[in-house]
Structure 1
């Protein structure tokens, strides 16, 4: 691990030339731009600024912090079109989806602006002449490491919850979308007091330097499981509190009593939305043999329609496309059958077709690991119980979906599946203000929702009683 105190980023010092990050548009391969990575001195300066601002910011009235967060939301809203365009250019996200992500981020900032000032402790019952209560306090310095697949919405949640509870923040956006991350930081910092929020552009070395700093109190990470494990190991040395939402291999179990065409539409939405580049995308499908044939026909038609209508975003870059196609190729070599897709298109960019694979088995990588692409691998099962058993296999525990009209099967899924979120009859269903705790290699802690305010604070217990005499 690197150490921000001595100026080292994996052996790099202030005297070394700065590495850069270059991004190309995944739609057509045209350049978006090049940015320099943060130098060791910039990492040190960001930590110093955050620490020097911490006391004043933590003692700012909660109502004032909430008001500033509302102003920050206003500023993001004013720059929504610009941020959405940058998101599309760097990640390939469809224009409407990119703008929707920015608007979701605005809504999240406003939500925390309202929730923060009313975040409170609890009274405790003690002696008649005594008083006991708990007081939530900011943890201190929060490092937020955010992903590229929904860069504004995810960052707004982590940054909003950390700031409104009185923490200072250093944000490192993904190196796959440094321009949109930097611009978001500029918009937010323009409203906040100096030193309260700093954005650093960089690759894994900058993230490691921040995660291993003993001055950091919280590390909030959304990204791969491998990176999440590395962060947890670093935090074990420094004592930082870790909140992480990491990879998933979310299953979809389809019962024999549902309409196969409707089930196919649900599966297509879960597997192909944002080209499968969503943390809770449907990654593996178990369909009852009684409806498998019409289901596969309808799912294949859904996939072809998305390709034909231009409703499928490209993958973020060719590196991810190679990884996705490698999983598909391995599955085909092991006996899976491609009903559509599975071919890398010619031409520039990082497009990949909506792909449906049948006859998949548990041994295939596409069924065991996160694919993060527009791939719907299907295994036909003899019963709902078999589908549920197979859905519970593996090292991930982010989310799962079941499609069934039977209450008993819903209850069995609730009892059997060790996941943070169980969705019944809607692959992306959920009420506003919801939250979840991922399991296994999918992470730990509440990464969003009102409970994220608890993650960003620690509790002090107060006891007061009358003096003697």
Structure 2
């Protein structure tokens, strides 16, 4: 079902030659097939958004904020329906989906409040002149968003882009297309026609949008896709914002309680079945507590597997990719003390898995796994663990569990990541924004700084005119 202003504006049929078939991650049954946007529809969406840009950019910031507040109210009203679609398409438990939608409502409300106060800066110059900067919208923003927290992540980008006066074309993940379309149907009525559009499709539609003459490309997803989008932006001149894959390390020092550290590791590795960009992907534990830590982590995983709290992965393709990494590690000498085997039965379930005997060359330690897998490597010293934690091509986040302030400060200074978390795998103050490094992306992805990413700055210098010639007064 096509979505929002693309439907109501005169234009070509949005249906492409193919469709996106979604299966239930819990049962494997086919749920529905959603049409993909045809190339003509993608081009038409860009044209519609471009036409709507001048008027939306000229809209008073407080009015843009009011529209965002209306969108937040509509989203809150539709939360239960959207959470059900989220659960159906991705397997995420309804309670967790509702929490994500609640976070999305709050994010829209926050950007609604920030819209009127996002401003430039005064500059120090000649006392008889005025120097300042003005923040202006970039234009048409294409937002390519993921499936693992689809509403919260999308609304972060949507809120910041619209608050700053850009028009938006949103392409939700092809793994949750009906949810993406429903989100568009909920939000679009809060804005003038053409300001917020939704286009459904897979990688081909995303490529067409990335190659279009737009002004911003914002992407949250895999590093491979992010690299392609960055190359496309370099050719078109679009400003690119990317939060991409991670291989986040957890460094466990010798002076912490191993049971508590194992609980933190389990939260970081198994929450949302490991399908979180900032999930714990590799663990370095000091040899002095390694045995107790591993036993406690195994118990944490076993409990989750026994009580059925590990939700399925989004689809069998993801499960196959996760199991391939686990199998490679096992073949290379690692051991699965819990999990590690494909379960019988329907759906795309994968057990919480603890691997021991891991080495730095295994894929589970070098690549993003994106599944409920906790690979453990024992280290002899904190310095050895920190050196390994600093290795690799990703730079999203890292966690340090330690009571040694010198080790903590050493890690904060050395870790080449956008976010360092100390003694808590998740959490942090609201509004935090970080810049990922390496293959994990570039640009601020959250917080007030995201408003700057969607803006371009104009410097203004106003000088006093020269004094009139003697004997001539000013008019």
Shift of 1:15: 12
Q: 5+ residue gaps in structure 1?
A: 1-12
Q: Deviations over 1:412-442 (max 9, x none)?
A: 0011110000000000121111010000000
Shift of 1:32: 2.2
1:398 aligned to 2:396? yes
Q: Deviations over 1:222-275 (max 9, x none)?
A: 000001010111111110000000000000000000000000000000000000
Report what 1:282 is aligned to. Answer: 280
How has the CA–CA distance of structure 1 residues 80 and 20 changed in structure 2, closer, same or farther, with 3 Å as cutoff?
Answer: same
Shift of 1:115: 0.9
Shift of 1:94: 1.3
Q: 1:53, 1:168 within 8 Å by CA — same for their partners in 2?
A: yes
Shift of 1:31: 2.4
Shift of 1:466: 1.3
Q: What is the alpha-carbon distance in structure 2 between the residues aligned to residue 436 and residue 16 of structure 1? A: 38
Report what 2:262 is aligned to. Answer: 264
Q: SS of the residue aligned with 2:183?
A: helix
Q: SS of the residue aligned with 1:19?
A: strand
1:199 aligned to 2:198? yes
**1:375-454 map, 5 Å:** 375-454=373-452
How has the CA–CA distance of structure 1 residues 444 and 222 changed in structure 2, closer, same or farther, with 3 Å as cutoff?
Answer: same
Q: What is the alpha-carbon distance in structure 2 between the residues aligned to residue 148 and residue 16 of structure 1? A: 22
Q: SS of the residue aligned with 1:462?
A: strand
Report what 2:180 is aligned to. Answer: 181
Match of 2:224 among 223, 226, 230: 226
**1:37-436 map, 5 Å:** 37-214=36-213, 216-436=214-434
Q: 2:15, 2:35 within 8 Å by CA — same for their partners in 1?
A: no
Q: What is the alpha-carbon distance in structure 2 between the residues aligned to residue 17 and residue 462 of structure 1? A: 47
Q: 1:14, 1:40 within 8 Å by CA — same for their partners in 2?
A: no
Q: SS of the residue aligned with 1:367?
A: helix
Q: SS of the residue aligned with 1:448?
A: coil
Q: 2:249, 2:280 within 8 Å by CA — same for their partners in 1?
A: yes
Q: Deviations over 1:312-358 (max 9, x none)?
A: 11100000000000100010010001001001111110000000000
Shift of 1:468: 1.2
Report what 2:5 is aligned to. Answer: none
Q: What is the alpha-carbon distance in structure 1 between the residues aligned to residue 427 and residue 80 of structure 2? A: 27
Normalising by structure 1, report the TM-score: 0.96
Which aligned segments of 4 or more residues in structure 1 are displaced greater than 2 angstroms?
13-17
Report what 1:9 is aligned to. Answer: none
Q: What is the alpha-carbon distance in structure 1 between the residues aligned to residue 30 and residue 322 of structure 2? A: 23
Q: Deviations over 1:173-203 (max 9, x none)?
A: 0000001000001111011110001100001
1:457 aligned to 2:420? no
Based on CA coordinates, which of the two structures has the bigger radius of gyration?
2
Shift of 1:17: 5.8
Q: 2:15, 2:37 within 8 Å by CA — same for their partners in 1?
A: no
Report what 1:10 is aligned to. Answer: none
Q: SS of the residue aligned with 1:18?
A: strand
Q: 2:132, 2:461 within 8 Å by CA — same for their partners in 1?
A: yes
Q: What is the alpha-carbon distance in structure 2 between the residues aligned to residue 16 and residue 411 of structure 1? A: 55
